[in-house]
Amino acid sequence: MAVIIRKDEAVVASLRAAVLRWYDGHGRDLAWRKGERDAYRVWLSEVMLQQTTVAHATPYYDKFLRLWPTVGELASAEDGRIMAEWAGLGYYARARRLLECARVVVRDHGGVFPDDEAALLGLPGFGPYTAAAVAAIAFGKAANVVDGNIERIMTRLYAIEEALPAAKAAVREAAAQWVSADRAGDWPQALMDLASLVCRPKAPLCGECPLATACLAFQRGEPERFPVKLEKAARPRRHGVVFLIIAGDAVVVERRPDKGLLGGMLGLPHTEWRDRPWKDAEVRGPDLEFTKAGRYEHVFTHFALTQEVWLARISGVQGQALIRTHNDWQLLPLADQRSLPTVFHKALKFETYGSLI
């Protein structure tokens, strides 16, 4: 592990106060900071913000709070409804764990989140980051919250040369030096805002930063070199054929198996996503007259997908007959197509293919 050179404690105390003053004047006005600090709201926002931008997550957060204002109401929601309302937010395993966690909170904790980091860590979907964030922000506990933003500030502040992810232990040690019971909940939020508005990944505004006097990366004139990252391996590419079957004013969809990618979500029927393109003769789909309508790209975390769209138009009556022959299939009104995960929703833009020719 990289050895960090600890900063003088008096310097830390004075700069910590300066960051909190900056936060009081410049902190972002975020939906989940309005009203009381309630563990359910903090948790919901943290789960939604994993791998998603604030702008993208905010309407989902507002919608979930409107539909399910308490963890108890969320726990009693139907799985399919949660998945449908989550559609578009990505990383669907999080939605499944969200529901699982709400049910554990109701079953094992009387509908109240535990206020202790260790107990929070035992809940489904809680990793060290979420447990620390909820303990600090909702319960004011002095927890060491380290997300990608705080990681960026710490690697710059201490000029940590070790590459991520190996540097995570050193980053945690650096961040721990700043944790204090004083405004424990504001501190991680202040750092996240500072990272988002000032210590940006590209072109950080060091001239406006309350930490500049102690920041080694700034003093060396190379803030953007941190955090040091290992070269990423190129994403592998996979290929698939998706069957876009329009039955009257509905589309044929399938309920995906609970386990695996996009588990439990609705999706369009498709071939296996494999590492070489499909030849027409290899494709086994429903016995319908298909037209090749085009292809599109979609990028998952671990692979990029090229998906060819095979389009068939049938009547509503034929659609009913078709779904009777497939247990997991159903008809989704075209008006509700937004409830499909993005990788399938993209195929719907080919629905007008042929109608304009």
Annotated active-site residue 46? The verdict is yes
Buried b (16+ CB within 10 A) or exposed e, 315-327: eeeebeebbeeee
Residue owning tokens 């009203």: 35
What does the alpha-carbon distance between residue 188 and residue 166 come to, in Å, rounded to a whole number? 22
Give the residue, chosen from 19, 87, 198, 347, that forms a contact with ligand SF4 under the rule CB under 6 A.
Answer: 198
Query: Which range binds ligand SF4 by CB under 6 A, 1-9, 164-172, 209-217, 230-238?
Result: 209-217
Residue 126: CB atoms within 10 A of its CB come to 22
Of 138, 159, 136, 158, which Cα lies nearest the Cα of 146? 136
Q: Kindly give the pairing relationship between strand 304-314 and strand 237-247.
A: parallel
150 binds ligand SF4 (CB under 6 A): no
218 binds ligand SF4 (CB under 6 A): yes
Give residues with Cβ within 8 angstroms of 17, minimum separation 6: none
Give the residue, chosen from 223, 240, 264, 267, that forms a contact with ligand SF4 under the rule CB under 6 A.
Answer: 223
Nearer to ligand SF4, 162 or 254 (CB): 162
154 binds ligand SF4 (CB under 6 A): no
Give the residue, chosen from 141, 156, 256, 346, that forms a contact with ligand SF4 under the rule CB under 6 A.
Answer: 156
199 binds ligand SF4 (CB under 6 A): yes
Nearer to ligand SF4, 41 or 156 (CB): 156
176 binds ligand SF4 (CB under 6 A): no
Minimal distance, residue 12 CB to ligand SF4, in Å: 14
209 binds ligand SF4 (CB under 6 A): yes
160 binds ligand SF4 (CB under 6 A): no
Query: Which range binds ligand SF4 by CB under 6 A, 169-177, 211-219, 241-249, 290-298?
Result: 211-219
- Token couple for 205: 């505004």
Query: Which range binds ligand SF4 by CB under 6 A, 67-75, 121-129, 199-207, 281-289?
Result: 199-207
Which positions touch ligand SF4 (CB under 6 A)?
A: 153, 156-157, 198-199, 204, 206, 209, 211-212, 215, 217-218, 223
Question: Annotated catalytic sites, by residue?
Answer: 46
